[in-house]
């Protein structure tokens, strides 16, 4: 597969050139060693990831006088008009705020407002682009059980991508149960198809072993090839508890692009999920907190475990989105070991007091 001629979607900082050259050499070495032709795609994704990370760091550097953020979520249904507040007094920068949090009764409208506040879908999706959306479709559960990403959220993102000129929108995940029933039971299959997207049911042939040049423990793994052939990759997790990870948000959701024996990933999970995140950095992250699963995650129990928040959190950095996601459960970002490690390795900012966060009520 030959690399695309299109570059990163975000402007690149000259200071990141050496790092990109190093990563390209690492991938080239893997090609010589005969690992996988899809490593070329990895190099392209790493280019994009570097561009996204550079832009995020640049806008964080422009933020001054941060006053911190609230860790509480207002009660749903309290607002009838649109309001916007910012938790910092500094500039939001040319690329917009770090995070946007929108609350309202309509999940699709929440998504639209969140993406718009980040600069619009055109910032991420260019005309003719191939887009991949990655929800959490762990297993077949109805939407009200908060086990899978809300279908209205998926439909809204699909429409926004197509309206921005996307040539195709593909939705995929690697459930722990049979894929087709899981997508159908979750409501995502119908929602995406009616919005004009395509659900792809993965098989073993959709995964190739990919080198992870910056991995400290996880050095290679079979990953779904579609994300490396896409022009834009959007991570769309649901917020819920997890027995091992504490919470499963956007970083943990990346396990759904992994093939092979994924149970092994839970051994030394903290480092391995960070290793994966050094390679795969989505262009956009939209955290679905329409309903959150507060207990018995990730597969869920009964409706008593579900809390309705009617909230969407969106940003360009996985670590920052997950840091805010922790507060939805009354936790601190530092309560999640993988977030602490990810920040230490320079993958993003988990200190919410250093971020520009815009809140809206629809």
pLDDT digits (tens, 9 = 90+) for 66-108: 333 333 222 222 222 333 444 432 233 446 899 999 999 999 9
More confident residue, 93 or 178: 178
| The CATH number of domain 14-361, selected from 3.90.1150.10, 3.40.50.11440, 1.10.520.10, 3.40.190.80 | 3.40.50.11440
Residue 315 sits at the vertex; the CA angle it makes with 312 and 317, to the nearest 5 degrees, is 135
- Tell me the C-alpha distance between 229 and 258, whole Å: 15
The HSE-up count of residue 321 (CA atoms within 13 Å, CB side) is 33
Judge if the upstream peptide bond of residue 45 is cis by omega within 30 degrees of 0.
no
- Tell me the C-alpha distance between 165 and 150, whole Å: 24
What's the mean pLDDT when you consider all of the chain?
80
In terms of pTM, does the model score above 0.85? no
Percent of the chain with pLDDT over 90: 67
Of 229, 221, 249, 243, which Cα lies nearest the Cα of 136? 249
Cβ(284)–Cβ(10) under 8 Å? no
Provide the H-helix boundaries in 134-178. 151-163
Residue 42 has pLDDT above 60, yes or no: no
Query: What's the pLDDT at 246?
Result: 86
More confident residue, 136 or 68: 136
Residue 30 has pLDDT above 80, yes or no: no
Query: What's the pLDDT at 362?
Result: 82
Task: Give the contacts of 244 (CB within 8 A, at least 6 positions apart).
Answer: 266, 269
Q: Residue 361: how many CB atoms within 10 A of its CB? A: 22
- Tell me the C-alpha distance between 275 and 233, whole Å: 18
More confident residue, 73 or 165: 165
- Span 211-231, mean pLDDT? 97
Angle between helices 179-186 and 188-195 (to 10 degrees): 80
Cβ(286)–Cβ(111) under 8 Å? yes
- Name which of 8-12, 194-198, 275-279 the model is least confident about: 8-12
Residue 266 has pLDDT above 70, yes or no: yes
Supply φ then ψ for residue 334, to 5 degrees: -70, -10
Residue 24 has pLDDT above 60, yes or no: no
Of 245, 135, 231, 262, which Cα lies nearest the Cα of 187? 135
């Amino acid at each position: 597969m030959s690399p695309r001629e299109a570059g990163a979607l975000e402007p690149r900082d000259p200071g990141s050139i050496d790092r990109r050259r190093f990563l390209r050499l690492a991938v080239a070495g893997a090609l010589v060693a005969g690992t996988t032709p899809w490593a070329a795609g990895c190099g392209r994704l790493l280019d994009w990831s570097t561009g996204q990370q550079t832009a995020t760091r640049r806008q964080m550097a422009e933020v001054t006088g941060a006053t911190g953020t609230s860790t509480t979520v207002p009660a749903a249904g309290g607002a009838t008009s649109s309001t916007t507040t910012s938790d910092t007094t500094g500039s939001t920068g040319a690329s917009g705020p770090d995070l946007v949090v929108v609350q309202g009764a309509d999940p699709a409208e929440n998504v639209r407002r969140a993406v718009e506040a980040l600069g619009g879908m055109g910032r991420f999706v260019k005309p003719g682009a191939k887009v991949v959306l990655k929800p959490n479709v762990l297993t077949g559960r109805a939407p009200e059980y908060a086990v899978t990403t809300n279908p209205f959220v998926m439909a809204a993102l699909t429409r926004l991508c197509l309206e921005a000129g996307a040539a195709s929108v593909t939705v995929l995940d690697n459930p722990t149960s049979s894929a087709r029933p899981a997508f159908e039971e979750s409501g995502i299959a119908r929602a995406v198809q009616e919005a004009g997207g395509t659900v792809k049911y993965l098989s073993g042939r959709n995964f190739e072993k990919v080198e992870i040049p910056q991995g400290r423990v996880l050095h290679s793994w079979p990953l779904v090839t579609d994300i490396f052939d896409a022009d834009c990759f959007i991570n769309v997790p649901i917020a819920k508890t997890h027995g091992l990870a504490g919470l499963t948000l956007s970083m943990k959701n990346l396990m759904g692009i992994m093939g092979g024996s994924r149970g092994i990933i839970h051994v030394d999970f903290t480092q391995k999920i960070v290793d994966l995140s050094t390679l795969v950095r989505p262009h956009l992250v939209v955290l679905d907190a329409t309903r959150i699963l507060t207990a018995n995650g990730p597969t869920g129990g009964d409706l008593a475990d579900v809390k309705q928040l009617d909230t969407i959190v969106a940003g360009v950095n996985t670590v920052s989105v997950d840091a805010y996601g922790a507060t939805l459960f009354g936790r601190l970002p530092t309560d999640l070991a993988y977030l602490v490690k990810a920040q230490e390795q320079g993958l993003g900012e988990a200190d919410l007091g250093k971020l520009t966060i815009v809140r809206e009520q629809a």
